[in-house]
Amino acid sequence: LGNAKQIEQMNVLTYLKVLRKKTIDAVKDMKGFGWDKLKISEEVGLPISVIDQII
């Protein structure tokens, strides 16, 4: 994402898109580590239905 100054200057929609991509990547990584959906859901704070859509 960059340093604090770069993030402060970032458009809100751009910031949210980057955050969304990082969350999706993290969910896929956790699944790759062998984590089950419940553990992923608890870790990232997303419902299992959303986890299912990502993986």
Q: What is the pTM of this model?
A: 0.79
**Mean pLDDT over residues 39-49, rounded?**
96
Task: Indicate the average pLDDT of the chain.
Answer: 92
Domain ranges of the chain: 4-54
Q: Is the pLDDT of residue 3 over 80?
A: yes
Q: Note the pLDDT tens digit of each residue in 22-43.
A: 999 999 999 999 999 999 999 9
Query: Would the pLDDT of 1 be above 70?
Result: no
Confidence bin at 55 (pLDDT 50/70/90): very high
CB atoms within 10 A of CB 52: 10
